[in-house]
Amino acid sequence: MSFVEFRFLWFFLLLFIVYWTMRDNTARKVWLLLCSYVFYAAWNWRFTLLLLGSTTVDYIVGRMLARCKSRGSRRLWIATSVCANLGVLGFFKYFNFFVSSGSEFLAWLGLPTSVSTLNIILPVGISFYTFHSMSYTIDVYRGRQRAISNFVDLALFISFFPPLVAGPIVRAVNFLPQLVSARKFSDVDVRGAVILFLAGFIKKACIADAVAPIVDRYFAQPANFTAMSAWIGVLFYAIQIYCDFSGYTDMAIAAARLLGYQLSINFQFPYFAQNVSDFWRRWHISLSSWLRDYLYIPLGGNRGPRWFVYRNIMITMLLGGLWHGAAWTFVLWGALHGTALLIHREWTRLTNGLEWARRATRWLAWPITVYLVCVAWIFFRAHDLSRAATILKQFVLFRGGGSEHLHRWMLLVIVALAFVHWLNSRRWFAQPWRSWPAPIFAAAYGCTAALVLLFVPPHYTPFIYFQF
């Protein structure tokens, strides 16, 4: 069940009505927990057991961390949580990748092996709820979060359905305090939430799903297309992944808000970033901040000599890439971003005090950043390294390719979407509807929703980040 399906509308309507009818906070939380598991079970009910198991392990670890005083015991328990969570993630997501990569490496060394991979189904959202879960135990270990005695609270935090399958990654320190007292409907910005939901729906269902077939067509056989088509294909993919992911996040945040809970913003107009560092402060903010707090800083962060800091950055970005998928293309994507971050750091260091250099190159900052991000997307999307290399040659060198082409009017579509996106960043669409009388707003919303559905393609394209 995804947010753009009609059955989610019925599911949420029932959940919403029953939830706000209840007065007791515990009853509401139990109801939400039940609905969250039903939501997850709609994908595959068997994996709810995995979710429950992961929650139980971390609940026990949290309780033991609160009870144990010795450093050694506490380290043992946090290691248990991290190993259990990463072990599950590693098995379901990376087992076949490591087995086949290891086999290829041994074959390259002249030691052929006969290995078989397993037919493993990847549980939807495992990368997300594993990170939710680890944020709890690590924060308890660090003393930033009190261990929860109420199993329902912890289970709800980990399985809360809006961010469960594709983010944003929720932190225990941000979410658990919201479960303490009952939410008040009078505090809910209903208008803002439903507008946000509609905006997310438009991004995902009308834009991302509409450009998906064009992107699929190009990336399936890039060698058949012209270099200009490479630009169209890659730019459309940049649009698709942003609209797909940020659209889903908007809907998740809106759904949570309608239930009285606040989730953190996950995107802040990333394609207007002035450099790669800025890009990572705007793109998938919940992931980049999670990696910063739970990987980069424990590795040493910015403390230490330059080579040490750069090592930490590269490890974080490589693992960040690998988190997205079990393929070398994702690792390469992470490596590209890591390299770009290092280059930006060096540039900042070298031009420190050289205002003339910074001023002279300021106008180049944005186009270069967008260009580098698009180049990196090639590896993120390509089926394999060979096709990525073909696309790279077309995109960067304007060479190679075939005679098949994507229509040039698609460039106009890209420009139009970029313009609308720019208007949105200037908050042109943000406020006018807030002052309308409620019945007018309701009628306008209903009509707009009906008109928006005209532009939804008939085919259903799963959220890109579901595969992570």
Partner 1 sequence: MTVPTRQQSLRWQLINSGIGLSAFLLTCMGLHAILPFPAIDGGVSQKLRFFAVHKDEFDTLFIGSSRVYFQISPAIFDRVMREEGIPTRSFNFGIGGMYLPESAYVLEQLLNTKPRNLKWVFIEYDELQTKWAFENQTSRRALYWADWKRTSLLLRKLTDVGIDAVWLPSPKKLRDIILCRKGEANTYQQLIFHTAQFEKNFANIARAADILDYFWGRDIGKWDPNYLGAAGDGYIPKKGGMSASQAAAYERALGLAMGTKPPVASISPYTVEAYRQCAQKVRATGAEPIFLVTPSATQFDIAYRDNNARPPGAVMAFNNPRAYPNLYRSSARRDQQHLTKSGGEEFTRMMAVNFAQFIQAGEVK
Q: Which residues participate in catalysis according to the annotation?
A: 324
| Nearest-10 Cα torsion for 251, 253, 259, 261 | 170
* Minimum CB distance to partner 1 smaller for 115 or for 443: 443
Residue 449 lies near partner 1 (rule: CB under 8 A): yes
Is residue 295 involved in binding partner 1 (CB under 8 A)? Answer: no
Give least dist CB 384 to partner 1, A: 24
Query: Does position 447 bind partner 1 by CB under 8 A?
Result: yes
- How far apart, in whole angstroms, are the C-alpha atoms of residue 69 and residue 66? 8
Of these, 5, 104, 346, 384, which contacts partner 1 (CB under 8 A)?
A: 5
Q: Nearest approach, Cβ of 55 to partner 1 (angstroms)?
A: 26
Q: How far is the CB of 433 from partner 1 (least distance, A)?
A: 13
Residues 237-276 that bind partner 1 (CB under 8 A): none
- Dihedral through CA 230, CA 233, CA 237, CA 239, nearest 10? 110
Site mask for partner 1 (CB under 8 A), range 390-429, x = bound: ----------------------------------------
Question: Which listed range, 122-130, 165-173, 285-293, 437-445, lies at the site for partner 1 (CB under 8 A)?
Answer: 437-445
* CB of 114 or CB of 186, closer to partner 1: 186
Please give the backbone phi and psi of residue 225, each rounded to the nearest 5 degrees, phi first.
-100, 165
Q: Taking each helix axis from N to C terminus, what angle separates 71-89 and 47-67, rounded to the nearest 10 degrees?
A: 170
CA pair distance 330, 379, nearest whole angstrom: 7
Map 360-415 to HEC letters.
HHHHHHHHHHHHHHHHHHHHHHCCCHHHHHHHHHHHHHCCCCCCECCCCHHHHHHH
Q: What is the DSSP string of 179-231?
A: GSS---GGG--HHHHHHHHHHHHIIIIIIIHHHHHHHHHHHHSGGGB-HHHHH
Give residue for tokens 């007791």.
24
Give whichever of 93 and 257 is closer to partner 1, judged by the CB atom.
Answer: 257
Task: State the Cα–Cα distance between residues 131 and 355, nearest whole angstrom.
Answer: 41
CB distance 401 to 225 below 8 Å: yes
Contact between 450 and partner 1 per CB under 8 A: yes
* Residue 24 touching partner 1 (CB under 8 A): no
Nearer to partner 1, 106 or 442 (CB): 442
* CA–CA separation, 404 and 379 (whole Å): 22
Q: Does 371 bind partner 1 (CB under 8 A)?
A: no
Instruction: Report the residue from 143, 305, 367, 458 that binds partner 1 according to the rule CB under 8 A.
Output: 458
Residue 7 or 434: the one with the smaller Cβ distance to partner 1 is 7
Stretch 68-97 residues interacting with partner 1 (CB under 8 A): none
The amino acid at residue 216 is D
Q: Which stretch binds partner 1 (CB under 8 A): 259-267, 295-303, 367-375, 457-465?
A: 457-465
Positions that interact with partner 1 (CB under 8 A): 5-7, 186, 438-439, 441-447, 449-451, 453-460
